[in-house]
Structure 1
């Protein structure tokens, strides 16, 4: 199958067909197009045209299209749909996706949309999911799953599984519960097929099963599923009752969103934005960290002003100021990036003191190598050994301090419950610039005796 590619020609043809309301031609073109590709088309055309497409296609396809649309496009389309039309779309979706869409609707029409859903069990499941915090396992899970009672025999189990599986898109696991719906374990399909039909399930199921609480953070759910290579994980409430499951496709979205968030934090962007957002939104996201950089620059300039007499006598020190600041920033970002990665993957072992000692040793070794190169270069260039020595020793000290700051800061933020990814951005760069400049001129002043 050839991968779909949205060309300018195809986009122009679809727009023209919509304007001319040539429905049969549109249906012919989009008949075999995947819903994710239809969403890509809808994201690129005008909102009224996208709404036209959604109303034209069958709900079993457009419901999935809605989940793939950009948030602003989906919001605009939903505004142009009646409560009944929205309800028809929701009935085709798994409960987690349906609940996400309902949560985006204006409060005044939510009740009306829910009342239009003909499948009352589906409607009740959606309402139940809306009770959970968005940033939790409960807000991420779906109610669709296959579960069997430990007191059933294999034959009863198979019959019930057939009924339940009709409402489940993909059956990753079969969960075993007791009469109170307490999660007891999981059932192997192989064991089910090779066991006598009269055998009780309690003698067949596997009691060990990984699960998460409804209040668990999505990032922790992602970590557990990644660690144990799970395609799905059951979700239990405070007393251990099975209330839903989270599948790998939902976790991929969580990982993607977290990676985008961390990348933007590292780049000095304080909120989730995209390239197509308004200038005002982009300014709000960027300006706080740019302001921090401005403060850092003013601070560095003030520090240099305090050493004005020394700079006037040894102008060469001024020429190496950008190098010192750059090295401090680079080392700090490298150190913090490693720590942030370790925290994210939960593979950061050992105490903070051991981590700091290791970073000091690493920074010292790197600093010595770089300082020797800088020493011989400066000495050969200017022929002044004391000045070259002062610059080189300063470089070692700056690298060591930057490594300590880059290591300690994300660990400190993590302990305080703040996203440590913030440490890899302008925060580390700015702080290391200031400390680096201060250490550089202070050591130079001690060695040169000024």
Structure 2
């Protein structure tokens, strides 16, 4: 199957069909296109055109399209739909996706939309999910799952599973509960098929099953599912009752969102923004770190002013100032990026002291190699062995300090409950620039 690629010509063709209200042609054109690709098309249309597409196609397809849209596009479309039309879309969705959409609706119409839902059990499940924190297992989970009672026999189990499976898009696991709905374990489909119909489930189920609490954070769930290669994981409440399940597609979304957030923080963007956001939103996200960088630059200039005597006597020192500052920033970002990645993947082992000692040794080795290269260059350029030696020693010291800062700061922030990704961007770069300038001119003053 050839991947769909949205072109300007295709988009113009769709817009022309909408303008001329060629409903049959639009339906035929979009019939074989995946709902995620249709969502890409809808994202590029204006609100009226997008709404036209959603109203034209069947709810079993448009409901999935809505889940793939950009939030602002979805919000605009939902604003053009009646409560009955929104309810028709929610009827086709799994409870987790339906709850996400309901959470985005204006409060004054939520109750009306819920009352329009045909399936009252579906409505009850959506309302139940809305009470959980968005950034928790309860906020991620879906109610659709297959569960059997530990006291049933295999024949009863199969009958009940057939009824439950009608509402489940994909059956990843069969969960076993007791009379109080507490999770007991899981059931192997192979064991179910190869066991006598009169056998009780309690005699064949597997007691070992990984699960998470409704209050567990998405990042921790992602680590568990990744570590144990799980396609789905059951969610239990505070007393161990099975209340839902989280599937791998939901966790992939969590990982992507977390990666996007960390990448933006590392680049010095203080809030979640996208390229298409308004200039004001982008400015608010970028400006705080730029101000920090400005103050850092002013601080560096002020520090250099205190070494005016050394600079006047050896003006060539200024030629190497950008190099020293750049190396400090680069080493600091490298060190912090590795530590942040280790924290995110839960791979960071050992004590902070051991980690710092290792970083000092690594920085000393790298610094020495780079210093030898810089010594040769500075000597040939300036013809002054003493100055070349001072610059080279400064580089080693700057790299070691930058490595220590880049390692210590993210670990310290993590232990204080602050996202360590904040340390990999302008924060580390600016602080290392300042320390680099102080070390550079202090050593130069000492030698020269």
- What TM-score range do you get, normalising by the shorter chain? over 0.9
1:5 Cα offset (Å): 1.4
Question: Residue 268 of structure 1 aligns to a residue in which SS?
Answer: coil
Counterpart position of 2:15: 15
Question: Residue 397 of structure 1 aligns to a residue in which SS?
Answer: helix
Question: Residue 334 of structure 2 aligns to a residue in which SS?
Answer: helix
Separation in 2 of the partners of 1:223 and 1:443? 46
* Structure 2: 5+ residue stretches without partners: none
Matched, 1:107 2:107: yes
Matched, 1:399 2:396: no
* Structure 1: 5+ residue stretches without partners: none
Question: Residue 33 of structure 1 aligns to a residue in which SS?
Answer: coil
1:231 Cα offset (Å): 0.4
Counterpart position of 1:339: 339
1:381 Cα offset (Å): 1.9
Counterpart position of 1:219: 219
1:380 Cα offset (Å): 2.1
Counterpart position of 1:142: 142
1:4 Cα offset (Å): 1.1
Counterpart position of 1:129: 129
1:241 Cα offset (Å): 0.6
Matched, 1:288 2:288: yes
Separation in 2 of the partners of 1:392 and 1:8? 56
Matched, 1:55 2:40: no
1:32 Cα offset (Å): 1.1
Counterpart position of 2:241: 241
Map Cα deviations across residues 159-203 of structure 1 (whole Å, 9 max, x no partner).
111000000000000000111111111111111111111111011
Separation in 2 of the partners of 1:426 and 1:287? 12
TM-score normalised to structure 2 length: 0.99
Separation in 1 of the partners of 2:302 and 2:196? 83
Counterpart position of 1:84: 84
- Structure 1 window deviating more from structure 2 (114-123 vs 189-198): it is 189-198
1:373 Cα offset (Å): 1.1
Map Cα deviations across residues 2-45 of structure 1 (whole Å, 9 max, x no partner).
22111111111110111111111111111111111111110001
Question: Residue 206 of structure 2 aligns to a residue in which SS?
Answer: coil
Give the aligned length.
448
Counterpart position of 2:200: 200
1:405 Cα offset (Å): 0.2
Counterpart position of 1:188: 188
Question: Residue 331 of structure 1 aligns to a residue in which SS?
Answer: helix
Map Cα deviations across residues 405-433 of structure 1 (whole Å, 9 max, x no partner).
00000001101111111111000000000
Matched, 1:116 2:116: yes
Question: Residue 243 of structure 1 aligns to a residue in which SS?
Answer: strand
Matched, 1:351 2:365: no
1:379-398 superposed matches below 5 A: 379-398=379-398
Question: Residue 358 of structure 2 aligns to a residue in which SS?
Answer: helix
TM-score normalised to structure 1 length: 0.99
Counterpart position of 2:258: 258
1:141 Cα offset (Å): 0.4
